[in-house]
Every structure is written in C-alpha cells, then in structure tokens.
Amino acid sequence: MVRGMKKSKSKDRESTKIRKERVKELLTSLGIKIYNDLDNQIFPELEIPSRSVSNIVYDKRLKQYILGDAIIKRSSSNMRHLRSFTQLVWLAFFVNKLVNEGKTSTLRDIYYSSQAFNMDFEDQPESDHIITDLEALISFAREDFNIYPEERSSIFGDLTIEYTVRGYEGRRLNLADHPDGYLIGPSLSSAEFIETSAEMVLAVEKGGIFTRFVEENVHKKFKALIVDTAGQPPRATRYLLKRLHDELSLDVYILADGDVYGEHIAMVIKSGSANAAHLRELTVSDAKWIGVWASDIQKYKLPTDPMTEADIKRCYELKNDPRYQLDIWQKELDLFIKMKRKSELEAFAKYGLTKITDDYLPEKLKIANSL
C-alpha cells in the first residue's frame, strides 16, 4: 500500500449491505402490517410525513431543509385514498423484489413496470410522486431501494472501489484508469471505497471543465477526485459526495458558473434542496464554494453576459432563503444584482486554456483554506 493512502472509515456509516437490509426489513414489516389488517378486516392506514410547503422547515443546526411534524394519514377505507394507497404498497412490493434480486430500475422503468401488475399511473409524475412518498415513509432515499434517475454525472481520480452489485462482487477498479471518467450509476454508488491518494474532491458544474481538469492533471497536481455534477447534481452524486466526505474525510470544493444558478448548485450540495427535505443523507455541510464568485468576475476581468429578468428575480428569491443568510452568500448575491452581469467557467479561456488550472484554481483553493 502506498504511503499516504486513505482507507474507508466504514464504521462511520452503515455499509451498503446493511442499508439494503434495513430497507428490506422496513418494506417487509410494512407488508406484514397491511396483510394483518386486511386479514382482520381492518382497513389499513399509513402515516406519511407531510411534504407540503407548510411542513418544510429550515433546520439551522443541520443546515438543511427538513420536514416538520405534520403527518398525513392515508387510509385505504377512503375512496379518494385507496388508489394511491394501493400504488404505494405495490411500489413497496416491487422495490422489495428489486433489492432482493439486486436489480435496479429507473424512474421511467417504474412507471412502465406498474402496468404489468394491473396498476395504473396516469403519467410518470404520478409514479415519481409515489416513489417520493415511499422515501418519506421509510426515510430512505430511492437509491437505497435501487431506483435511479436517468441523468448521470461522472467521477475521475485515484480511488479504488470494490463492487457490491450482483455478478461483480469483489471486483475492484481504480477510477483514474479511464480518462473520460466513470458514470456515477447504481454500481458505483453502491461500491465500497477501498483506498485513495486524494485529499480533496473538486466538484465542477460542467463536462468541458471536467475534461480540461483531467487533461491538465489536476487530480495529480492537487491530489483531487474530480466530479462532474452535470449541472444541478443528481441525488446519487450528492450522496456519493457525502460518502467521499464522511468515509474518506475528503474536503469538498465546488466550482460552478459565475451566476446565481452556479451559486445555488454549491448551496444544494452544502445544504440540500426543499424537494428532498424528507431525506438527510445528501448534504455535505462543510463543502466549500470556491467560485466563480461575482467578485471573481471583476477581479479576473472575465467576459460577461447580461443577466435576464428571470436571473435577477432568482437572486432576490435566494436572498430571502434561510440557507443564504451567511455573509459570503448574501454578499455575492448583492454583487450579482448590482452588476447585472454573469459569466461562465469557460470564460477563463480568454486568457488561455490553462488559465483556470494554472492560476485561478490554486488561488481560490488558497483563499478557501484560509477562511
């Protein structure tokens, strides 16, 4: 083993295997409860944390949105509930099978699979909604019961993983072996981390910058794992970032476009989104947003575009968001509003293709670490 290699601190988290067992347990006990009620001629009922806007609150201690105490009681005796109640139990039955068989499914697969069981979803949003209900009901993210969205982001860098998915158990792979990076899919998400020489994670918003960083050996120069979030990162990616941070004690740095949406990508990685307020395993609360700040645009004289009205409206919305109350977040929003200009990561190319890796990145990392 190379000196300085980190090993996974797996006691910090339940291993993937254990999590799956927990999920199976919860699903089975749900089934038993419903089975027994029906067998006793009682209409089964379920209590699900309410995900209505009024029940989403910001938890200052956790620094993320969480659900409040409001509960929705769904009863199979109610004609208006019975359909969605059955859909939910079908989903529990279906994902239980998925987990048992070690198979995965996409959101869209779920929508179509239902039809084989004589279940009717009006459209995919309806089935997506039931999936979120199940997440809230058992407090596990859908990835834990093997449902993944279609969108994928990628990772590259010196990290050895060991697969746990069926058919690949025990096989290892180093994530620096393929220069295009590896898709963060179900197999990678559920893999165990074996060892790494990296000391940090660099999450970048765009594929183009990701490729540039690989080409410029950023992973070696900065001892970094590079993650392409492909815009607002999917949950599997956020979950992976959290695991990298928790299990390997890697610092997470975020580099996104110099606009309000870039700033928000950083914030969602740090503090989560309102949409996933029922889940708590997705945030890296000490992740650091290193750019591109509004002030960087001025400092580095980056080429800019004018902000649209929607951009400006979004700035004002976020200014009132509880997650944005800290100094730097407010300050940068104010500056965006004042400048009414925005810029992109690619804009550094004006000063040469390697400007971003040669000068900007080291300078920003330095600042971040001095804070």
Partner 1 sequence: MSKAFSEISPSEFFYRNRDLAGFTNPTRSLYMTVRELVENSLDACDAERILPDIYISIKALSEGQDPKHYVVSVKDNGPSIAAEYIPKALGKVLYGTKFTLKQARGMFGLGATMAILYGQITTNKPVKIVSAYDSKSYEYTMMLDIQHNRPVILSKNEKVSNNSSGLDIEITLEGDYSKAQQKIKEYVAQTALITPYANITFDDPFNNKIEYKRITDEIPSPPIEVQPHPAGIDVETLRRLINKELTLISFSDVRDKVKKELNARTNQSADTLAELAREKWDRLSRDVKLITSLAVLLSINLDEIDKIRIDKINPNTDEASYITFDERYLTVKLQKIEPFYKYLLSIVEGDTLLSFLVKNFQRVGESTARKFLEYVKFDEDKRIGTLTNDEIVRLTEAMQKYSEFLPPDANCLSPLSAKFLEASMESMFKPEFVEAIQRPASAYSGFPFIVEIGVAYGGEIKEEGIKLYRFANRIPLLYDEGSDISWKVIKEIDWKRYKISFDMPLIIVTHICSTKVPYKTVGKEYIADRPEIEYELKNGLRFLARKLFLHLSKKKHAEMASKRANIYSRYLPLLAQFSKELANASRLPKYEKLIRYGKRYEEEQE
Q: Which residues are catalytic?
A: 112
Using CB under 8 A, pick the residue from 23, 27, 165, 236 that binds partner 1: 27
Q: What's CA 72's distance to the chain center, in Å?
A: 26
C-alpha span between 88 and 74 (Å, rounded): 10
Pick the piece of the chain touching partner 1 (CB under 8 A) from 37-45, 130-138, 192-200, 278-286. 37-45
C-alpha span between 140 and 26 (Å, rounded): 10
- Contacts of 169 by beta carbon, 8 Å cutoff, 6+ apart: 163
Is residue 28 part of the contact set for partner 1 (CB under 8 A)? Answer: yes
The least CB distance from residue 101 to partner 1, in Å, is 13
| Interface mask toward partner 1 for 109-138; x: CB under 8 A | --------xxx-------------------
25: left (phi over 0), alpha (psi -120 to 50) or beta: alpha
204 preceded by cis ω (within 30°)?
Answer: no
Closer CB to partner 1, 75 or 354, in the complex: 75
Structure tokens at 71: 């509960």
The least CB distance from residue 82 to partner 1, in Å, is 5
State the number of binding residues for partner 1 (CB under 8 A): 29
Closer CB to partner 1, 92 or 333, in the complex: 92
Pick the piece of the chain touching partner 1 (CB under 8 A) from 12-20, 80-88, 128-136, 253-261. 80-88
Pick the piece of the chain touching partner 1 (CB under 8 A) from 93-101, 240-248, 292-300, 310-318. 93-101
Q: Is 116 exposed, middle or buried (0-12, 13-18, 19+ CB in 10 A)?
A: exposed
Structure tokens at 75: 């009863």
Nearest Cα neighbor of 130 from 64, 46, 55 is 46
Nearest Cα neighbor of 46 from 138, 128, 110 is 138
Using CB under 8 A, pick the residue from 13, 31, 109, 151 that binds partner 1: 31
How many Cα neighbours within 13 Å face the side chain of 303?
Answer: 8
The least CB distance from residue 129 to partner 1, in Å, is 17
The least CB distance from residue 167 to partner 1, in Å, is 25
Is residue 90 part of the contact set for partner 1 (CB under 8 A)? Answer: yes
Is residue 77 part of the contact set for partner 1 (CB under 8 A)? Answer: yes
Contact 293, 257 (CB under 8 A): no
Nearest Cα neighbor of 261 from 329, 201, 315, 204 is 315
Closer CB to partner 1, 23 or 218, in the complex: 23
Residues lying near partner 1 in the complex (CB under 8 A): 27-28, 30-32, 34-36, 38-39, 41, 43-44, 76-77, 79, 82-83, 85-86, 89-90, 92-93, 96-97, 117-119
